[in-house]
Amino acid sequence: MSEWQPRILAILCNWCSYAGADLAGVSRMQYPPSIRVVRVPCSGRVDPLFILKSLQSGFDGVLVSGCHPGDCHYISGNYVARRKFAVLKPLLEYIGLEPNRVQFSWISAGEGDRFAKVVTKITEDVRELGPATRLVKKL
Partner 1 sequence: MNTTNELRKNIKSLIAEKKVDLFLGWEKGSLPLAATPLFVTAEDQADKAIFDVTCGNNLSIYFTKDKKQFEGRKVGIAVKGCDARSVVLNILEKQIKRENVVIVGLPCNGVLDRKKVLAKTDGREVLELIDNGDTVIVKGNGFDLQLNREEVLSSSCLACIYPDAQEYDFFIGEARGEVPNEGRLKEIEEFQTLSSLERWEQTRAEYEKCIRCYACRNVCPSCYCNVCFVDQNDPRWIGGTSEYTDTLIFHVIRNLHVAGRCVECGACQRACPMDINLLMLNRKVAMEVKDRFGDIAGLDINGKPAMSDFKEDEKQKFIMG
Partner 2 sequence: MKNKKNSVLVLGAGIAGIQASLDLAEMGVEVHLIEDTPTIGGRMPQLDKTFPTNDCSMCILSPKMSECARHPLITIHIMSALKEISGDPGNFICRVIERAKYVDPVKCVSCGLCEAKCPVKIDDEFDMGLRKTRAISRYFLQSIPSEYTINPRHCLYLTKGVCKLCEKVCPTGAINYEDKDKEIDISVGAVILATGIDPFNPIGFGQYGYHRYSNVVTSLEFERMLSASGPFGGHIVRASDDQPPKKLAFIQCVGSRDEGIDKNYCSSACCMFAIKQSIIAKEHSRDLEASIFYMDIRAFGKDFDKYYDKAENHYGVKFKRSKIADITELPDGCLELKYTYENGDIQREVFDLVVLSTGFQPRQGSRELSENLDFRLNRFGFCHSDTFHPQETTRKGVFVCGAMNSPKDIPESVVSASGAVAGAVKLLDPGRHDVSTGEKEIKEKDVVGERPRVGVFVCHCGINIAGVVDVKNVAEMAKGLKNVEHSEDVMYACSTDCLEIIKERIEEHDLNRVVVAACTPRTHEPLFRDTISAAGLNPYLFEMANIRDQCSWAHMNEPEKATAKSRDLVEMAVSKARSLTPLKRLPIAIDPEALIIGGGLAGMTCALAIADAGHDVFLVEKENVFGGNMRDIFFNPDGSDPQQFLAETIEKVENHSGIRVFLNSTIEEIAGYVGNFRTMFTNGSGQQEELTHGVVVVATGGQEHKTTEYLYDESSRVITQKEFEAMLHDEKFPPGKLREVVFVQCVGSREEGRMYCSRVCCSKAVKNARQLQHKKAKANIYFAYRDVRTYGFSEQYYSELRDSGALFFRYTPGNKPEVEKIDPDDPDSRIRVTLFDPVLEKDVVIDADLLVLATAIDPLEENLRLAKMLKIPLNSDGLFLEAHVKLRPVDFATDGIFVCGLAHSPKDMGESIAQAKAAGSRALTFLKKRSILAEGTIAEVRTDRCSGCGYCEDVCAYAAIEIDLEEGVAVINDALCKGCGACVASCRCGALDLRGFTNEQLFSVFDSLEIEAVEGIL
Q: How far apart are CA 101 and CA 47, in angstroms?
A: 17
Report the 3 state secondary structure along 27-63.
CCCCCCCCEEEEEECCHHHCCHHHHHHHHHCCCCEEE
Determine if 135 is a binding residue for partner 2 (CB under 8 A).
no
Closest approach of partner 1 to the CB of residue 5, in Å: 20
Can residue 104 be called a binding residue for partner 1 (CB under 8 A)?
A: yes
**Least distance in Å: CB of 47 to partner 1?**
9
CB 1, min distance to partner 1, A? 27
Please enumerate in sequence order all residues whose Cβ is within 8 A of that of 43, keeping only pairs 6 or more positions apart, or say none: 11, 13, 17, 64, 65, 66, 67, 72, 77, 78, 81
Residue 42 found at the interface with partner 2 (CB under 8 A): yes
Taking CB under 8 A as the binding criterion, the range among 8-16, 20-28, 29-37, 89-97 that sits at the site for partner 1 is 89-97
How far is 118 from 112, CA to CA, in rounded Å? 10
* Residues at the interface with partner 2 (CB under 8 A): 1-2, 4-7, 9, 14-15, 18-19, 21-31, 33, 35-42, 44-47, 50, 53-54, 57-60, 71, 73-77, 80-81, 84, 110, 116, 131-132, 136, 139
